[in-house]
Structure 1
Amino acid sequence: MAHLLGAEALHLEFPTKVVFDAVSLGVDEGDRIGIVGRNGDGKSSLLAMLAGRLAPDAGRVTVRGGVRVGVLDQGDTLDDTLTIARAVVGDTPEHEWAGDARTREVIAGLLGDLAWDAPVVDLSGGQRRRVALAALLVGDHDVIFLDEPTNHLDVEAIAWLADHLRRRWPAGSGAMLVVTHDRWFLDEVCTRTWEVHDRIVEPFDGGYAAYILQRVERDRQAAAIEARRQNLARKELAWLRRGAPARTSKPKFRIDAANALIADEPEIRDATQLRALAVSRLGKDVVDLLDTGVSYDGREVLHPFEWRIAPGERTGILGVNGAGKSTLLGLVSGEVEPTTGRVKRGKTVRVATLTQRLDELEQHLDDPVRVVIAGLRTTYSFGSGSKEQELTPGQLLERMGFSSAQLSTPVKDLSGGQKRRLQLLLILLEQPNVLILDEPTNDLDTDMLAAMEDLLDSWPGTLLVVSHDRYFLERVTDQQYAILGGRVRHLPGGVDEYLRLRQRQREEPQAGSMDAPPDGASGLSGADLRAAQKESAALERRLEKLEKQIAAAKAALAEHDQADYVGLGREMERIGAWESERDEVEERWFALSEQIG
């Protein structure tokens, strides 16, 4: 395996902190390396030194002659004077870049919905990120460095990027180093993990799941490691093994070892107890959306639908930017009024929203953290049932990763991740019983994400989450819904089903052809429209039932006698028949959706 670049005895020091001390490491052909660690421990600095963007105070980085290096910075470096075309392919003639398969794939995968000649200055943050990614990926690089590549990307773009990076180089060639807090992405694309901590870089084999297993083993052997961090990692490993069916089927870490480590680990959430506690605090009525729809200026944003949100429900919301996710959350919180139907709220419902903005902190920017929490509730009821306990705001801050020294720091001087955690604390201390999280993972490292997930595991209320962080969404919610073409649809198959539906939606004939109805028209009316809507609803119910049957059959398959080949074959045929029926039902549902509009 050929060596591409290496670092020898790297030392990096800032005025108040030594970041790295005598770090040596190397990158070889075929390496796919994920870099993890707490915010502020030096992940981006390490990437910048290896990429030649930052000079170490001592030591050196050497790159093999002829190796081509590409870098995606965390910040926005696009030139506002350019068009998208110039930013991505420069002055390359169209016949050249259009004849390159990789360039066509990148443009189609990341920029298919953007006008090729649009000026960069008019793009949103997410669009600019996709243009910067495209500009890097069309290049022919031997090593690429990615600093938070999933920032501002939605679930689909992240899935596309993971697939592209897996296929970008033949096995054993090329190399990639990525800093990201997106744990699903790390597990999909990385075969090695570097953990940055305590001025060193510690290597692990495998992606994020394998790293968690090895870290738990390391923490068990080293009694000096703090107990809190160990328990969070053990809990996360338990979820990785028990939680998402798609993940547990991948042999990314030693199954027997993982099972041994989590043998005595309880389920991450006692769902029955949490629901019972939620009912006692909320009653049976939370928020009911009854034939509720929203239109703006004659344009239908959300088609009328019914959703009765239950006490203790934990639901994730998926949809492309502009699909209507914020409108849906606004209906629940009361910030948006429906144009059709009505919204019914329980008498005891108290809704709180963790927004992407930091509005809750605006009035406290000049105050030290301890002053902010001093005027709040003196205790917070945490947990449920026999495990319920009272925590002071200071104890809750400690649980969210604040040190005692940081309590004297003015809010305006906190990092982005610290502000985010303080914002969540202020909201939780209001004791809401319905909590809405709108992109809550911004600026948080993997350890802090695990701490937030641990906190939410014992939160006894109704939880609604919008997030492009697939790992977080699957980890803290029990079910997912999608907004597709203005229609709210349950996803029995979770995020994988959403991506499959979106792919099929893109493959449908585009509206605007000679046979297509005009924008906003269904192409049906009267009895035909009612019949199509009735059939569509029946198909959705059938899809949900099929998904449950398939999931149950696959779970039972794991318990089946593996020597019973005839029985196993029969079960596989049965599952295959259900999966074929599911695909046919989905195709019919999409065809009806196009007709209904």
Structure 2
Amino acid sequence: MSILSVERISHTFGDRWLFKDLTFGLQKGDRVALVGINGTGKSTLLKILSGKTVPIEGKVVKTKDLKIGYLEQEPSFENLTLVSDFIYSIDNDIQQFIKEYDFLIRTEQTSNPRLQELADILTIKDAWNFENNIKTILNRMGIVDLEQPINKLSGGQRKRLSLAKLLIDEPDVYILDEPTNHLDIETIEWLENLLTIGQKTIIFVTHDRYFLDNICTEIKELNEGNLYSYKGNYGYFLEKKAEREISDTASLEKNKNLLRKELEWMRRQPKARGTKSKARIDAFYDLEEKTKSDKRKDSLRLDIKLSRQGNKILELNHINKSFGKHTIVDNFSYIFKKGDRIGLAGKNGSGKSTFLNLITGQELPDSGEIITGETTVFGYYKQGGLNFTEKQRVIDVVKEVAEYITTGKGETITASQLLTHFLFTPEKQYNLVEKLSGGEKKRLQLMRVLIKNPNFLILDEPTNDLDIDTLNVLENFLENYTGVLLLVSHDRFLIDKLTDQLFIFQQEQPIRIYNGNYSDFKLEENPVKKETKTSNTTEPKKDKVKLSFKEKREFEILEQEIAHIEFTIKEKTEQLLSTTDHQLITILSKELEVLNNDLEEKSVRWIELGELI
């Protein structure tokens, strides 16, 4: 039984239908990922489910007293002044007791008799676990000053504050719009664990494929106003989506052939038509409408000429930078080389953005020397967002940088043609920037960086608000990018795929240079330890099931085979993402289906033997 559902809902954006006649429901324990390209209406659909937006047609149905928690892309805090006002709900008695108790502790009023009174109340109400849970969540989200004014918080701090409140309230349904934005990797991994404990009901939008795979039990794709459902993980979704698109293409061609025949019949018909003719005419118009919705979408193309790069690129000699008593960069030296692909890893606030500002000259070091090569051209994509005036048009934002651009093939194209490559239709190019979706603004910002033809590309959280399709294109471009790449991202998939070296930032410690990607680093930091325990107790020993030599050997071989299959699946999935050849897509989809079945079978046997051990 659905606890939250939509029935035949339709909604528009401007004069365009985002979707029509959508019907689906969420059952308790469902964890649904909503995917689709930017501008298809994912965030609007979440707003409708949360009750923030009323659909133009249809209705939302929910069970009685259902508590919904909604994380917006850009949270608002109406009529609230301090962080504590938002965290502790005025209508929740226990939260108000905890707020008062926490205030007395923080202001060191330990002799205040009210403190003991509150402690007794929290004991009677069995609220100490809840109080501890609140502190854990706030610490994880980096929220330490509860008396800080909300209007002084950055966009990232507001997003984390909103997420913290939602997690504290433990709603019946979690509706999350890009929950990993502005979180560091360690916090994302903690959030994954929290959301998969218990039978939580979740529907979320994310660009983070590791997060998506680790959380969801079902994927719903919003595509050209229709909703397609896939039970399974992201790999399964890609496979089945490819099969659907092949089928849709075949149906479209069949409809077009039929339409040509029907069009000839329409032209031959006299003006006076009978009932049978009218039915056929109606069928003709239905068929005509179907052929208009060609699902072979234009694809985003990133093809930018690279500026020539000399031998000297960038040298950092004994750089130091501090803010007050906090050391950000401590005696750091590095000489950048051609082909460097470096990821910056570390918690929020550890100094990654300051480091980027130093090497691009936007901040000066306290001491040390930064030498930039004469031919080095920086392309700096900041996480702060796109700068534009209120009434600026999309095409004007591009023309500010260049009216003509040279592509990787040496062709000269206009700003309008380049915008078309980036999936901005001629109509949208003359719209106001403020009317773009969050993801479209990010895509425009990325384009502005790339048209400068940089040979030293710095990307600070480029994945925020971009749809997965655009991310796949960006990844493909960056894989073939021959300049220096410096990447800050909480997207573990992106870091693993695009970097082979890390600068590790830890507060009040020197920057550590690590050769390898993020998964390599995590494996080194947290190796699987085999603990041998000794005990002096006289408890009787439990009988152990001993594996035969043959079973032990089978267990070891299965480990190797599973690792090999997983590697092969990863390779073939990447092939599938990077090709548009329908024949190859079909072959790869079938191969992935066989591999996934084989992986499941071997994994089950491996778990059985592992439990015996």
* TM-score higher than 0.5: yes
SS in 1 for 2:404: coil
Matched, 1:221 2:247: yes
SS in 2 for 1:222: helix
Matched, 1:129 2:129: no
Deviation at 1:465, TM superposition (A): 1.7
Aligned match for 1:439, one of 455, 461, 468: 461
Matched, 1:487 2:495: no
Aligned ranges 1:158-173 → 2 under 5 Å: 158-167=188-197, 169=198, 173=199
Q: Which has the higher mean CA deviation after the structures are superposed, 27-36 or 69-78?
A: 69-78
Aligned residue type for 1:135: K
Matched, 1:320 2:347: yes
Question: Per the alignment, do residues 4 and 152 of structure 1 end up closer, same or farther by CA in structure 2, a change over 3 Å counting?
Answer: same
Aligned ranges 1:449-528 → 2 under 5 Å: 449-485=471-507, 486-492=509-515, 494-496=517-519
Aligned residue type for 1:406: K
Matched, 1:107 2:109: no
Deviation at 1:15, TM superposition (A): 4.8
Equivalent residue, structure 2, for 1:246: none
Equivalent residue, structure 1, for 2:369: 342
Aligned match for 2:225, one of 199, 204, 213: 199
Deviation at 1:196, TM superposition (A): 1.2
Distance of 1:199 and 1:317 partners within structure 2: 38
Question: Per the alignment, do residues 35 and 288 of structure 1 end up closer, same or farther by CA in structure 2, a change over 3 Å counting?
Answer: same
Question: Per the alignment, do residues 451 and 16 of structure 1 end up closer, same or farther by CA in structure 2, a change over 3 Å counting?
Answer: same
Deviation at 1:87, TM superposition (A): 1.9
Does the aligned pair in 1 maintain the 2:300–2:421 contact within 8 Å? no
Cα RMSD between the aligned structures? 3.8
Distance of 2:146 and 2:400 partners within structure 1: 54
Aligned match for 1:558, one of 545, 554, 564: 564
SS in 1 for 2:93: coil
Does the aligned pair in 2 maintain the 1:350–1:434 contact within 8 Å? yes
Equivalent residue, structure 2, for 1:330: 357
Does the aligned pair in 1 maintain the 2:460–2:487 contact within 8 Å? yes
Identify the structure with bigger relative contact order (alpha carbons < 8 Å, sequence gap 6+): 2
SS in 1 for 2:411: strand
Question: Per the alignment, do residues 80 and 120 of structure 1 end up closer, same or farther by CA in structure 2, a change over 3 Å counting?
Answer: farther
Does the aligned pair in 2 maintain the 1:355–1:438 contact within 8 Å? yes
Distance of 1:333 and 1:116 partners within structure 2: 32
Matched, 1:61 2:60: yes
Distance of 1:8 and 1:489 partners within structure 2: 54
Larger radius of gyration: 2
Aligned ranges 1:43-442 → 2 under 5 Å: 43-65=42-64, 67-78=66-77, 79-84=79-84, 87-88=87-88, 90-92=92-94, 93-94=97-98, 95=122, 99=127, 101=129, 104-105=132-133, 107-111=135-139, 113-115=142-144, 117-121=146-150, 122-167=152-197, 169=198, 173-223=199-249, 281-297=308-324, 299-357=326-384, 361=388, 366-367=392-393, 369=395, 372-373=398-399, 376=402, 378-382=404-408, 388=409, 390=411, 392=413, 393-411=415-433, 413-442=435-464
Aligned residue type for 2:93: D
Distance of 2:323 and 2:400 partners within structure 1: 43
Structure 2 unaligned spans of 5+: 99-121, 253-293, 528-558, 568-613
Does the aligned pair in 2 maintain the 1:109–1:160 contact within 8 Å? no
Distance of 1:284 and 1:27 partners within structure 2: 58
Distance of 2:384 and 2:425 partners within structure 1: 24
Does the aligned pair in 2 maintain the 1:377–1:429 contact within 8 Å? no
Distance of 1:334 and 1:374 partners within structure 2: 22
Question: Per the alignment, do residues 472 and 229 of structure 1 end up closer, same or farther by CA in structure 2, a change over 3 Å counting?
Answer: farther
Question: Per the alignment, do residues 309 and 555 of structure 1 end up closer, same or farther by CA in structure 2, a change over 3 Å counting?
Answer: farther
Does the aligned pair in 2 maintain the 1:84–1:131 contact within 8 Å? no
Aligned residue type for 1:323: S
Distance of 1:159 and 1:391 partners within structure 2: 45
Deviation at 1:302, TM superposition (A): 0.7
SS in 1 for 2:490: coil
Deviation at 1:184, TM superposition (A): 2.7
Question: Per the alignment, do residues 335 and 140 of structure 1 end up closer, same or farther by CA in structure 2, a change over 3 Å counting?
Answer: closer
SS in 2 for 1:487: coil
Q: Which has the higher mean CA deviation after the structures are superposed, 24-33 or 390-399?
A: 390-399
Question: Per the alignment, do residues 489 and 88 of structure 1 end up closer, same or farther by CA in structure 2, a change over 3 Å counting?
Answer: farther
Does the aligned pair in 1 maintain the 2:401–2:452 contact within 8 Å? no
Deviation at 1:415, TM superposition (A): 4.0
Distance of 1:315 and 1:554 partners within structure 2: 30
Distance of 1:305 and 1:374 partners within structure 2: 36
Aligned ranges 1:570-585 → 2 under 5 Å: none
**Corresponding residue pairs, total:** 460
Alpha-carbon deviations, 1:504-540, whole Å to 9, x = none?
A: 9xxxxxxxxxxxxxxxxxxxxxxxxxxxxxxxxxxxx
Aligned residue type for 1:300: T
Equivalent residue, structure 2, for 1:240: none
SS in 2 for 1:295: strand
Distance of 1:147 and 1:219 partners within structure 2: 27
Question: Per the alignment, do residues 150 and 465 of structure 1 end up closer, same or farther by CA in structure 2, a change over 3 Å counting?
Answer: same
Aligned residue type for 1:390: E
SS in 2 for 1:128: helix
Equivalent residue, structure 2, for 1:572: none
Question: Per the alignment, do residues 460 and 38 of structure 1 end up closer, same or farther by CA in structure 2, a change over 3 Å counting?
Answer: same
Q: Which has the higher mean CA deviation after the structures are superposed, 341-350 or 310-319?
A: 341-350
SS in 1 for 2:204: strand
Equivalent residue, structure 2, for 1:586: none
Deviation at 1:202, TM superposition (A): 1.1
Deviation at 1:154, TM superposition (A): 2.6
Question: Per the alignment, do residues 400 and 367 of structure 1 end up closer, same or farther by CA in structure 2, a change over 3 Å counting?
Answer: closer
